Structures are given as C-alpha cells and as structure tokens.
Chains A and B, each alone.
Chain A
Amino acid sequence: MSAIRFDDVWKEYGDHIVLERITMEVEPRAFIALVGPSGCGKTTLLRMLLGEEQPSRGQILVDGKPLPAEPDADRGVVFQRYSVFPHLTVLQNVMLGRELRDAKLIGRLFGAARRAAADDAMKLLAEVGLAGQESKYPSALSGGMQQRLALAQAIMRGPKILLLDEPFGALDPGIRADIHLLMKRLWNETHLTVVMVTHDLSEAFGLATRVIALERSRNRPEERERYGATVSRDLEIFPRRSAELRTTVQPAPAGTTRSGKEHQPGRPGALVLKGQP
C-alpha cells in the first residue's frame, strides 16, 4: 500500500527521447493499467518503477521518498515470461522469498522455520489454485499456472507495490478470464498498489481503477527521435472501483479457480466464469 508520484519524469537514450513530461500521482491501493501502442515506453516506465532503469530527468517518489536505484523487496514483479525459477519446484519457488529474507547467509531455511514457511507457501498455493502441484517443476505447468505461481511467489514476500509487465498477454482467453478473477481477488485481499502494463484494453478496463494511456503526440518520422511519449489519457473507471479491505485471507471459493482445466483451453465451460464477482 504505497502512493507513487511521478515528478516531471523524462527518459532519454542518447538523443532519443522515449518518455517526456510524465507527471502523475498514484493513490495507495490503486490498480493502474498502462496502455498504449507498441514502442510508446510503457515497459520503460515500468522498468523505471522497478529500479532497473533510472529517469534521465525528474524523479519518482514512493510514499514521499525517492525510489531506490535498484530493485528491492518493496516492489514485486511478474513478467510475461521467465518470472519463476526453472530449477526450483513450485513450492520452493514460493518459499524462496521467505528464505532469502530470513537466511541472509545461506539463503535456505531448515527445521521449524522451514516447515512454517512451507505451511504459509502451501496456503498461498491453495489460494491461487495450485494445490497439489507443489512438487512439480515450472516447466511441467501450463502458461496460466506458471503465471499463478509467479503471482504467488511475488505476493509471498509481501511487496507494497506489484508491477505486472503484460503478465497475461500470452495466455488463452479462457484462462485469462480465470486469472483475472484471481488477480482481482489478490488485489482485494492484500494491501497492494498495482501497476500493470497491458496491450489488452478490455483487460485494462476490466481490472484497473484507472487506465493511463501513453502516446506520442508527434509522430512524423523526423519528429520521432526528439519527441517522446507522454500521458495522453488518464481515465478513472466508472462506476468507481476500489479495493475492499477484507483482512482475512480465505481459501478460494469453489469455481473461481479452474486450474485443473487449464491444459484444455478449448474445453466447454472454460469461459463460464466471465462476469462473476
């Protein structure tokens, strides 16, 4: 739960201006969707939030403090690909954040601490619909399941901000609808501010509290290098959507997770869930 503030942020690579004059406020617990044509700097903006890239001018503030210049545990991330570690099982992937936090020297937990971490991880796995998959390696999971795992892994560490880089872009429509439900629930039940980059406008309007469009105002070939993209639309979703502050984390109600069906995308019923809570 963090407020983010962009203060006249520019990003330039040499002479090439990618983003310019980005000034915006993101309120705590918002769910921001960044949309825009390819190459308009959506991902660059996300990478700056992540700390992987630094703004060339201006600054980004989180809760009033300048953003650290490298990624840290306050900002979780889910990429479109390579978000989970292929050499760890599903359970180990989720436990990793806890192990890294509590065992600075060897990065592994043993005994009671390990069992406690494993218990928490199992609860989280059940919640994202991956119960029973814990001893598999990620390569044995479908794309949708891998993204569920990536979400669980990020959330296990308890970030304040969750950054999503086209996380569901490579998934089949039915599976995407299911994982949207999960995403909504996670956003409601945790204290996250979410920033999501997406190509899919219906996804943006379906999940977010606010949709922000980045666009180049000048697009003639001779102008492309010298004018970057900036915020062209800032739409609040109507009727206003806000996170419910449910504190107890409940296991998934029957029917909201369909992970068992994910490997059969064409199966009738996979889309039934559309338009549920």
Chain B
Amino acid sequence: MRLVNMRPGRQTRFYLLALPFLLVAIAYFAGSGARLAQNPNDKLLPALPSMVQAVKQMAFEVDPRTGSYLMASDTVASLGRLGSALAISTVAALVLGILIGLLPGANALLGPFVSVTSMVPPLALLPILFIVMGLGENSKIALIVIGTLPCMIRDLAMKVQELPREQIVKAQTLGASTWQIALRVAMPQTLPRLIDVLRLQLGPAWLFLIAAEAIASDSGLGYRIFLVRRYLAMDVIIPYVAWITLLAFLIDVGLRVLQRKAFPWFASVRAE
C-alpha cells in the first residue's frame, strides 16, 4: 500500500503523537545521566529529582525575601501583562479591521499605513518605549500591542474584505445602513475569524512579553528565567519554560473551544 493511503487508527495515532515527546525526553535524560555520572555537580542538564526539588521550592514554598509564592506571582504578573495587551490589541483590531475592510475610504486612508507599521520590528522600538514610558508595566504592554496589533488589523481587514460582496449588497436591499451592516453582518462574522487571528498572534505576544521582562522588570516568568540564568540554574529554567509552553498551549486550546462553542455556524463556512 502507498504511504499516502495509509491512515493511522486511533491507537496508532496516539502512539505516533507521543513518540516525538518521548524521544526528546529520552535524549535529555540520557544526556543528563551521562553528564551527571562524570560530574555530579554538573548544572547544565539537571536530573529530574533536582528539577522537582526546584519546582517545589519555587511553587510551593513561600519565598522568605518577598513573602510570596514566586512561581505563582511570576505567572500572575506575566499573564496580567499578556492579557491586558492582547485585550487592547483584540478590541482595536476588531474596530479598525472592520473599518478598513468595510469602508473603501478607510482602507485608502489606513490600509497602507497599517501595512508599513506592521513591517517595523517591534523590538527595535523597545528602547524608545522605555525612554518615553519608563520601565513600568506600560512600556511592556505597549511593546506587545505594537508587536501584535498591525498584523491583526491587516489580517482582519482582509477577512472582512473576503466576505462575499453579495452579502453586503443583500444587506442593503434589506434596508441596512453602513452602521447596521457593520453591526449585523460584518462584526458577527468577523468575531470567529478574530479568534483565528488572535491564536496566530499568541506566539509573537509571548515573544515580546519575555523579551520585555528579560530586559527590565522585577517580576514575571521571563524576568525569573533571565535572573536565575546568572547562576546557571537550569533546574529552574527548564520547568519554567515547560510551564510557559503549557500556559500558551492551554490558552490556544481555550480559544479553539471558545470558537467552536460560541460560533457553531463557523466550521461549515470555513470548510467551504
């Protein structure tokens, strides 16, 4: 049988899915074991027990200096920044995307500007943000917004423009004003697509969050990783990276579920 026709069953699919994860784990622990056998004080590839010990200390024991659970307070700080930045980006992208996608005049005015701004490398703006807004929360949130918003607007405007012209005409023959078209035709159909756009921007958003926290911050997941880097504390860094990955994965799954539950009509539209 040809490879293109071989479809794995449920069980095979599960094993196949687990295989790459297992291989990475095996490679890591083999390497770790070999290094630790040579030098028990090696810090580069810590063994599982030392990582468990570090997580226990970071997550479940009160830090004597700050009086808080460090991993929890880092997570809250980071998710707060990410959440408020993405909230701003999402709302702004929805409004501007519909405006640009629906109104030819707004497209002429803002379309090229958004395309150009989406080419500006956001990290290059970080010094400017720090100078203008200080080192506090605002500059970090601003970095994430600047990093994600132009692309979101551009993608969303494109999705609005992809709505069949027939629908816009049909709405007008039902007596809809421009405002009503935006409210009853464009926006409800843009919301599920907005979730797609948001999911695509989650990666960049995390990137800019960690970068901003690494450079100037006193809390957050990125801050912690770069802080303990000075002590080569791989036993903290690796669990933190895994934790960030898990958070990002869960947010992505959550958005996918939200899209399926809140917009049951969307799956068949996308399939067309």
Question: A-side interface residues toward B, CB under 8 Å?
Answer: 50, 52, 70-73, 75-77, 79, 81-88, 96-97, 99-101, 104-108, 137, 139-140, 153-154, 157, 159
Contacts and interface: CB of A to CB of B under 8 A. Distances in A.
Contacts of B265: 86-87, 137, 139
Given A104-B177, A137-B268, A83 B188 contact: no
Contact of A81 (B166, B174, B179): B166
A73 B184 CA distance: 16
A154 B184 contact: no
B258 to A, nearest CB: 16
Which 7 A-B residue pairings sit nearest by Cβ, starting from the closest?
A: A73-B175, A139-B268, A71-B172, A82-B164, A82-B166, A97-B174, A137-B265
A100 B173 contact: no
B166 A97 contact: no
Interface of B: 164, 166-167, 169-177, 179-180, 183-185, 188-189, 263-266, 268-269
A217 B254 CA distance: 62
A72 B172 contact: yes
A70 B172 contact: yes
Contact of A100 (B167, B175, B263): B175
A166 to B, nearest CB: 12
Given A79-B166, A100-B184, A86 B175 contact: no
Contacts of A100: 171, 174-177, 180, 184
A107 B176 contact: yes
A43 to B, nearest CB: 12
A70 B171 CA distance: 12
Contacts of B268: 86, 137, 139-140
A112 B179 CA distance: 24
A86 B269 contact: yes
A169 to B, nearest CB: 14
A97 B180 CA distance: 11
A87 B259 CA distance: 13
B44 to A, nearest CB: 54
Contact of A106 (B164, B183, B264): B183
Given A86-B269, A87-B263, A157 B166 contact: no
Contacts of B169: 50, 52, 71, 77
Contacts of A97: 174-175
14 contacts: A50-B173, A72-B173, A73-B173, A73-B175, A77-B170, A82-B166, A83-B166, A85-B185, A96-B184, A100-B180, A104-B180, A105-B179, A153-B174, A159-B173
